[in-house]
Structure 1
């Protein structure tokens, strides 16, 4: 994903405070009817909660109910029109005639009523034909209240979510399993789930999203992270699933059932509760102090810098994201490169693996700490149009509404077409603390979007040696920048629609591929099970040998 300063990622709600009660004339008196402020606030909260429940009910009904062929065809038409009018790279990797034919083919199948999930399974692969990693159809999921969430939790963990997976081409392997699944071991190959072969499953899941162009490394990395999510988008959610597995001893079949949460066995004493509360407070203070570095799902920092104690003058800088809440990239990079200078670091390993992108300005900032010449990070952002007819379906969120308004303010036009200026399209000087030593850059299939553009800029000026696998994002460009969500009026599905072409200042002759490593190193299932980071090991080995 890609964003710019002051933009917020994801959907949110904006509440506007008004002074409705102040409209009452001062002269009016209501004896014995005046309500204390607390009661007024309480009453307003009840009204808002009631309105929210009604809104959620309508929202859920739209996603669950059947839709007529006419309604489905209207939503399909909105998708097609949106791509044709607003997507600046819709025909980069597929010809118009071929895409039109595919839309017509899907339209011919919309003869019977279907619900939103069925429509999603039919049309998401169609959107993916554009081969843009930022463009996809989204099933937003139901909005649940506390009681519904509690009921789902009580039902237990779904079968597919009880394993962690490793995808290798058309093969699927077990990385780990819930402790209750005693017969399923790491390294087992999964041959089928519920009588559907693994190659069929993987193929159907990979059609629901896309990489940039002809790249393939992105697909496996996405499924390694989110296999259960995409599985339950493509296939019905069941209380039990039959897995056929294979290991060195042969084949076996294992039923996996919903795993109900275990009830708390031991009650905590008051002393233990107090101690736990105090530990939680301490951890909260630590988290608040370090939140400018961010945290991933395992509570590990998204921004991390360490000097390797086993090697002289070698340090590792990990950047797992360029966009997260409470971030302070300016502070972190300044602290990091001050330390690099003070400690006289000669070998720096920059780890960009698993970094899906984010704020383009912060990518440019990091680049300026790594390259000692003035450099233009991107060109201008070309656009297909200033206005598109389906813009009225843009989501009702502040950032998306702003996205729908800004073309009339900022978008310009010349003999090359519509375009928008970017804060990265002018040459910027290097930072005073620029690092000039040896550099290794670690990349993989999930190095995407703005991260891929950072990698290509470094590659373009021969700054560093790249180790790992091809980036999932394109070398030259991607469509991103402003990405509103369009809500389809009948099915409730959402179309993620990028409006700008973000490209490096001087593209090379390479179509639809990412940044290739100088030294290719693939992480295998065996490496993962042994806890080996072979890509990092290769980088450290190269630093220790000083092979430059």
Structure 2
């Protein structure tokens, strides 16, 4: 929280020290944002309170990783920041940390259509595409304003360390629990530039300090911002230069040699499979029939881009990896059967609201403990196979592996001896809050918030609370490997000698 009132003596002392730039002080009050509407404090407070109350009422897992006391404490701090005549960006940066504090990746906040249009038409962006590795960010763009920055590591932008910038941006979007892998990978490519513009500001120039890995030479260069159209062109050129896989196929299968096969699932979404004239279950069955008939001994399942999809596909895939009975969920919990804020959501239409409430009543019941849980028999996990794959199993994971993709990984970790390679999954080990999402639109500022209402508690016990599946072999992204087209996680998996077979 910024403090604006100082004792006179303290103010003199601070004035003599290095002062933060104007951009850091008031990043969204410059002439750049003059055309944006400003909202009265009454309207902003009304939107703020609606958001907070809706999260408390609808988000079933809101206190899974944080206490009610800590949440309310943050709410009090952020609410006190609201002033009269704020624009949408300023308000976004007040409420986004509250949404992020739910610590659920399915709970998102989006700019209004007006702010999105502003970004597309008038936005000023860093002319960069990057690869993140921990706190570091390496520039993928070939040239920036005539400067050959490719491969350079960013040290500072406009006087702020890149680590500080990332930490501030991280506070505006959530991840499951305390998982950082999903936040790190989310800022890859041009997304660092996009999020910087939303959170840090849109100045008329950027002083970028970089270090060149080959020489360790440090240099600070002033560059001009670019439009969103130019930023997208940078993204395209980087994808071409680094032969980035832009295939939209939801899944693929290939034999790497006579004894090793790779099965890739980028999604579990049935609609995505149908879009490509594929059927998830038919595809999965055919792959495992090939594996069993060919007596392939080593299977690598690539889940690095799998953010989930249609419920049930994760355990359908898992059923091919075990012949032992298992329980998928301890419980699936609903927050309530009806919502006071429903008229501000995508279920505001009478027919939509009635259908939603009917479905919630049909699938869930109020138990003696006072909890609303999914009725028995509504969902039954796929039973194990009589003849599953019993060879050596490797799972490739990343921060993009979440929701149903992470649930699959949790089941595999819990019930097999599979070896995990890559980064911690972006999805929590013990489940997530997802399923039906209520898209809340704040009536004054028009910011949009996705509120998940079903808490899926996986029947697993081997994980670390607040984290995802931790890989057995962690692979930290490397610019050198990326620039050469080396698949680090796959290479690591292939280099590990099979030790034990899955149970």
Q: Same fold (TM over 0.5)?
A: yes
Deviation at 1:415, TM superposition (A): 1.6
**Residue 114 of structure 2 aligns to a residue in which SS?**
coil
Q: Is 2:259 aligned against 1:306?
A: no
Which of 16, 38, 60 aligns to 1:88? It is 60
Is the partner of 1:445 in helix, strand or coil? coil
**Equivalent of 1:232, from 172, 197, 220?**
197
Kept in 2: contact 1:403–1:482 (CA 8 A): no
Equivalent in the alignment of 1:386:
337
Aligned match of 1:167: 132
Which of 408, 419, 428 lines up with 1:474 in the alignment? 428
Query: Offset at 1:510?
Result: 3.3
Please list every run of 5 or more consecutive structure 2 residues that lacks an aligned counterpart in the other structure. 1-34, 231-243
Alignment partner, residue 452 of structure 1: 406
- For 1:535, the equivalent position in structure 2 comes to 489
Q: Secondary structure at the match of 1:359?
A: coil
What's 1:487 paired with? 441
Q: Structure 2 vs 1, CA of residues 508 and 433 (structure 1 numbering), >3 Å: closer, same or farther?
A: closer
Partner Cα separation in structure 2 for residue 528 and residue 424 of structure 1: 45
Counterparts of 2:47 and 2:474 in 1: how far apart (Å)? 44
1:73 Cα offset (Å)? 0.8
Give the Cα–Cα distance (whole angstroms) in 2 for the partners of residues 143 and 340 of structure 1.
50
Q: How does 1:134-173 map to 2 (within 5 A)?
A: 134-142=106-114, 152=121, 159-160=125-126, 162-173=127-138
Alignment of 1:108-119 (within 5 A): 108-119=80-91
Tell me the alpha carbon deviations over residues 300-339 of structure 1, each in whole angstroms, 9 at most, x when there is no partner: 5331111013xx3110011111125325212221221222
- Give CA deviations for 1:67-117 in whole Å, capped at 9, x if unaligned: 111111111111111122221121222222222122122222223121222
Residue in 2 that maps onto 1:375: 326
**Does residue 1:316 correspond to 2:301, yes or no?**
no
Spell out the pairing of 1:267-416 with structure 2 (5 A cutoff).
298-299=246-247, 301-309=249-257, 312-323=258-269, 324-325=271-272, 326=275, 328-395=279-346, 401=353, 402-403=355-356, 406-416=359-369
Q: Which residue of 1 aligns with 2:97?
A: 125
Q: CA RMSD in A?
A: 3.0
Residue 178 of structure 2 corresponds to residue 214 of structure 1: yes
CA displacement, residues 427-483 of structure 1 (integer Å, 9 cap, x when unaligned): 532346632222111112221111111111111112411122211111111111111
* Cα displacement (A) at 1:400: 7.2
Equivalent residue of 2:129, what SS? Answer: strand
Give the 3-state SS of the residue equivalent to 1:380 in structure 2. Answer: strand
* CA distance 1:232–1:478, change in 2 (3 Å): same
Tell me whether 1:547 sits opposite 2:499 in the alignment.
yes
How far apart, CA to CA, are the structure 2 residues paired with 1:546 and 1:144? 50
Whole-angstrom CA distance in 2 between matches of 1:485 and 1:539: 40
* Alignment partner of 1:524 is 2:478: yes
TM-score between the two structures when normalised by the length of structure 2: 0.79
The change in CA–CA distance for 1:259 and 1:133 in structure 2 (over 3 A counts) is closer
Residue of structure 2 in register with 1:498 after alignment: 452
Deviation digits for residues 114-154 of structure 1 (CA, Å, limit 9, x no counterpart): 12221111110122122112113221433999xx99x94xx
CA distance in 2, matches of 1:445, 1:406: 33
Displaced runs of 4+ in structure 1, greater than 6 A? Answer: 259-262, 397-400
Q: CA deviation at 1:255?
A: 1.2
Equivalent-residue separation in structure 1 for 2:254 and 2:378 (angstroms):
29
SS in 2 for 1:499: strand
Aligned-pair CA distance for 1:259: 7.1
Quote how far apart the aligned CAs of 1:492 are.
0.3
Alpha-carbon distance between aligned partners in 2 of 1:475 and 1:502, rounded to the nearest angstrom = 11
TM-score w.r.t. length of structure 1: 0.73
User: How far is 1:199 from its partner?
Assistant: 2.5
Give the SS at the match of 2:455: strand
Could you tell me how far apart the structure 1 residues matched to 2:229 and 2:337 are?
A: 52
Tell me the residue number matched to 2:208. Answer: 243
Pick closer, same or farther for the CA change 1:192–1:519 going to 2, 3 Å: closer
SS in structure 2 at match of 1:358: coil
CA–CA separation in structure 2 for the residues paired with 1:261 and 1:99: 38
Describe the superposition over 1:407-438 as per-residue Cα deviations: whole angstroms up to 9, x where unpaired: 34433111231022488853532346632222
CA contact (8 A) 1:400 1:485 kept: no
Conserved 8 A contact 1:381-1:422: no
In structure 2, the CA distance between the partners of 1:257 and 1:214, relative to structure 1 (3 Å rule), is closer
Aligned counterparts of 2:253 and 2:463: Cα–Cα separation in 1: 35
Q: Is 2:397–2:421's contact at 8 Å kept on the other side of the alignment?
A: yes
Q: Give the Cα–Cα distance (whole angstroms) in 1 for the partners of residues 109 and 166 of structure 2.
A: 18
- Greater mean deviation of Cα atoms: 104-113 or 136-145: 136-145
Return closer, same or farther for 1:451/1:422 CA change in 2, 3 Å cut-off: farther
1:252 aligns with 2:220: yes
Given that residues 371 and 463 in structure 1 are in contact (C-alpha distance below 8 angstroms), is that contact kept between their aligned partners in structure 2? no
| Structure 1: distance between partners of 2:480 and 2:110 | 34
Counterparts in 2 of 1:546 and 1:89: CA distance versus 1, 3 Å: closer
Deviations 1:135-175 (A, max 9, x none): 13221433999xx99x94xx9x9642x4321223333221x
Q: CA deviation at 1:188?
A: 0.7
Q: Rg bigger for which structure?
A: 1
Q: Give me the whole-angstrom Cα distance separating, in 2, the residues matched to 1:527 and 1:79.
A: 44
- The alpha-carbon distance between structure 1 residues 64 and 403, as it changes in their structure 2 partners (threshold 3 A), is farther
Residues 9-66 of structure 1 show CA distances to partners (whole Å, capped at 9, x for unaligned) of: xxxxxxxxxxxxxxxxxxxxxxxxxxxxxxxxxxxxxxxxxxxxxxxxxxxxxx9422
Q: Which residue of 2 aligns with 1:441?
A: 395
- Aligned residues of 1:378 and 1:502 also touching (Cα < 8 A): yes
